[in-house]
Each structure stands twice: as C-alpha cells, then as structure tokens.
Amino acid sequence: MTTDSVLNRRAMLSWLGAGTAAAALAACGTSAEAKSYPVQFSDADWKKRLTGRQYHILRGRGTERPFSSALLKEHRKGTFVCAADGNPLFSSDTKYDSGTGWPSFWRPLSGAIGTSLDWETGTPRTEVHCSRCGGHLGHVFSDGPKPTGKRYCMNGDALAFRAG
C-alpha cells in the first residue's frame, strides 16, 4: 500500500467517523495488493522483470502520460495481454478510440481482470487489475460505447500486444 493510499484512508476514517468508516471500508473491498494471485514474485524480482515504466504502473499503481503509448495506434487483429505475466486481457475487437489518450476497450476477456475500489484521488474509482498477477492496469468508467457502456481505460505500458 502506498503512503498516499494510507493517508487517503486515514482522511476518510476521520471524515466518516470510526463506526461508519469500518462499514464503508468493508463495503469497498480491499485493494488488489492485499489479495493473493497465482503469479507472484518478490518486489526485487518484479523490478528485474519489468521496465521502470512498467513497474511504476503495474506494481506501483501509477499512470502513464496520455497519448504516450504506441498501443494507441495498434489496430491489428490480436490480443492485448498483461505486460507482467502475459495473461490475455482484451481482444482487439473490443478496442476503440475514446479520445482520452489511453488504450480503451469496451469489454475484457472472460476472467481476465479483477476490480477494486480506488480512493487515490479522494473520489471513488474502479481500478482494473490483472486476475493472474494483480498488476494495476487502469480504471473502468461507465461512459463507454454500446453494447456494454463501459470504458476500460488502460495504461499502454501495462499491456503488450500479440498479433493473430
């Protein structure tokens, strides 16, 4: 857990009061970091396996600059996979240009992702993480296209592309 997330939780606890806060935190669930995943490595091993940018996003829950990902312009048929463990996440058939500057999709592959409540900005958002390694991928919003109405706004550095 990052220092900022601890501070956000403390601020929320003092704002809500102890009794209400306990119920709210229980309803929110835990972060992806607190769960156990099939693919696990020590922090030192993750740092060896990933580039600095990938580590910042996938393990540190960071965000890349908008319009900085080469995957924005990736339009071939294929699968977008987790850059940390190769887990297939999104079909190219569900990718679309959201205009936000991050690769966006309207539906993940079945069982590919997990979600948790993210309070990092002080406003609740739904964080998306890899179901196999727990790596932070981005967030999902309810302003996407049909048929789901969802916008899975992913960090390109958290993804790799496999053509085919």
Q: Hey, which residues are catalytic here?
A: 153
C-alpha to C-alpha distance for 128 and 108, rounded to whole angstroms: 10
C-alpha to C-alpha distance for 118 and 5, rounded to whole angstroms: 9
Biggest CA–CA distance in the chain, Å, is 53
Contacts of 53 (CB under 8 A, 6+ apart): 64, 157
C-alpha to C-alpha distance for 119 and 93, rounded to whole angstroms: 31
Contacts of 147 (CB under 8 A, 6+ apart): 106
Which backbone phi and psi does 80 adopt, to 5 degrees? Answer: -90, 125
